[in-house]
Structures are given as C-alpha cells and as structure tokens.
C-alpha cells in the first residue's frame, strides 16, 4: 500500500479528471449546490445569505477532488491503527460516544458528508459493537473489496432492504450505523430536503424507539488542521409504538444535515440530484 500522501496526489488527479470528463457529475453537483443557501450561482432553498456566497463551480470541482481523497482514505484504512489514527482524526472529539460501547448502544446516523466510513472505523476503535447498513456496489468485485475492508475494521454489515424483523434481531446487542440522507429502499418517508420533496429513511428511528436507545446524528468532517473531527448534536429519542415520533426524529436528522451541508458544502458527496424524482405525499 502506498503512503497516504501519495494516494492523495493520485486521488487529486483522478478527481480532477472525473470532474472534467463527466458532464453528468458537473450537472448533479451544480443542481445540488444551487439548493444550499448562501452559495453563489443559485438562490438556495432559503435564499442567499449575504456575506458568505461561494462560487458553485469552484465548490463542485473541490468536491470531486475531495471525494477522491475520501476514497483514498477508505482504501488506506486497513493500515490505520490505534497508534496512528490520531494523525488523521481528532480522537478527543469522538470521546463523547465511548459510553455507547456498553449495551444497549445507540443508533448512529450520518450523511454523505465528510468521511462517514472513517467515522465508522473510529466508532469500532472505541469498542462500540457496530453494524452498518450498506448498499453494495453493483460490481461484485468492488462490493467484496469494500465489505472486506469494513469487516477488517470490526464492523458488521446489513444489506439495504433487510427485513425489519431480521434487522431487530441482528442489532439486538449492537449499535446501528446508517446514512440518513438517501433512501435506497424506496420505503422511506416523504419530506423536504433543501426545499425539494424527497424520500428519506425512517426505519432506523423506529428501531431506536423499539430498543429504547437514542439516535445520534453526527458527521466526521475534515477541519483546517487536515484532521477529521466529529460534529454532532444532542441525542434524539423517539417514543415506543409511536410512528409519528419516529418520523419526527428522522425529520430532525434531515434538518441537522442541512445545517451541516451549509457549513461544509465542499465535503458534501451526494452524487444524485436532490428531488430528481417527484415524490408524492404518503
């Protein structure tokens, strides 16, 4: 395995080529970034915020390069150990989560923002028994590679679409990790995300309610010192046997994700158009 510094150089080159060679990528990023308040080139769902406008074209290009680095970090992750993880991650920012290493744990929700895979690695290093819901790449070779890396980091995996009964059984003694800003199952709730009607996952909030554990929405974002740190809000609790309460928690997760995207737009790696499919009210 090459040193991470070399992988970064290669990732920057690949990210630049991807951006220049893919009209679809440029169109998707421009569409999504135009929804974010305060970014120049679009009104945003909430209108431009004076004094912080940032050109969308420049941000889109940075996103492509930054995502290349995220992939490089994921491939490098088998070499991350308790002895060197501090070079890449501000471990002190994650300490607040260490208490969830004891059963019954928690449901950890995140977004396609920053390095969510690295966040899962750090949780496992803290001793948290973590099972993550994964969407396997259509290419079986890539899927096997990614699953092998996650397994090597001590994470269990549950495929998207796992039946609720099987999901409850699988995480009876484990915490659950879920990316909460995209519904891969097609069975999520209809809500608004940056003003667009979309379908988002909600089952994780219902599972948290059934188990009596909190939902913790956090993102693992890169900061000015080049290291990642956890940014998270207060734990959220849904009431047992109350679907509306679970939907309320999931909706609050989306609102928090919007705020994090506004703060770290250059680390927003959502490569499908927000609101690209018209969703109807349920």
| Sequence-distant (≥ 6) Cβ neighbours of residue 224 within 8 angstroms | none
Does the pLDDT at position 171 exceed 90?
A: no
Please give the pLDDT value at position 281.
53
Of the two residues 167 and 115, the one the predictor is more confident about is: 115
Residue with tokens 């998207």: 160
pLDDT tens-digit profile of 241-264? 899 999 999 999 999 999 999 999
Indicate if the alpha-carbon torsion angle 195, 196, 199, 201 is positive or negative: negative
Residue 172 confidence class, pLDDT cut points 50, 70, 90: confident
Please give the pLDDT value at position 53.
57
Please give the pLDDT value at position 167.
73
Residue 45 confidence class, pLDDT cut points 50, 70, 90: very low
Out of 61-75, 137-151, 159-173, 262-276, least confident range: 159-173
3-state secondary structure of 32: helix
| Sequence-distant (≥ 6) Cβ neighbours of residue 64 within 8 angstroms | 15, 16, 18, 19, 25, 29
Of the two residues 160 and 162, the one the predictor is more confident about is: 160
pLDDT tens-digit profile of 109-155? 999 999 999 999 999 999 999 999 888 888 999 889 999 999 998 89
- The alpha carbon of 54 is separated from its chain's Cα centroid by a whole number of angstroms, namely 23
Of 130, 124, 86, residue with least CA distance to 229: 86
Does the pLDDT at position 279 exceed 60?
A: no
State pTM to two decimals.
0.90
Average pLDDT, the chain: 90
Question: Alpha-carbon distance 136 to 118, whole Å?
Answer: 17
Mean pLDDT calculated for residue range 23-45: 83
Of the two residues 38 and 191, the one the predictor is more confident about is: 191
Residue 158 confidence class, pLDDT cut points 50, 70, 90: confident
Backbone angles phi, psi at 248, to 5 degrees: -65, -40
């Amino acid at each position: 395995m090459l040193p991470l510094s070399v992988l970064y150089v290669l990732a920057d080159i690949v990210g630049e080529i991807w951006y220049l060679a893919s009209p679809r990528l440029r169109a998707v990023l421009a569409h999504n970034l135009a929804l974010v308040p305060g970014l120049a080139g679009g009104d945003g769902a909430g209108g431009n915020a004076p004094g912080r406008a940032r050109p969308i074209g420049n941000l889109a290009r940075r996103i492509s390069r930054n995502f290349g680095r995220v992939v490089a970090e994921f491939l490098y992750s088998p070499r991350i150990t308790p002895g060197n993880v501090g070079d890449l991650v501000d471990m002190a920012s994650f300490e607040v989560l260490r208490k969830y290493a004891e059963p019954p744990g928690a449901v950890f929700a995140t977004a396609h923002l920053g390095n969510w895979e690295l966040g899962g690695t750090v949780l496992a290093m803290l001793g948290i028994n973590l099972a993550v819901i994964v969407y396997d790449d259509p290419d079986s070779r890539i899927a096997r590679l990614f699953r092998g890396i996650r397994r090597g980091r001590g994470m269990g995996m549950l495929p998207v679409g796992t039946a609720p009964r099987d999901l409850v059984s699988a995480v009876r003694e484990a915490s659950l990790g879920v990316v909460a800003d995209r519904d891969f199952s097609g069975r999520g709730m209809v809500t608004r995300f940056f003003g667009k009607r979309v379908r988002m996952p909600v089952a994780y909030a219902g599972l948290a309610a059934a188990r009596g554990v909190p939902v913790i929405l956090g993102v693992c974002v890169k900061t000015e010192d080049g290291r990642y740190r956890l940014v998270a809000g207060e734990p959220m609790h849904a009431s047992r046997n109350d679907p509306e309460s679970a939907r309320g928690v999931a909706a609050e997760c989306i609102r928090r994700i919007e705020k994090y995207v506004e703060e770290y737009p250059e680390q927003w790696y959502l490569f499908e158009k927000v609101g690209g499919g018209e969703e109807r009210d349920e």
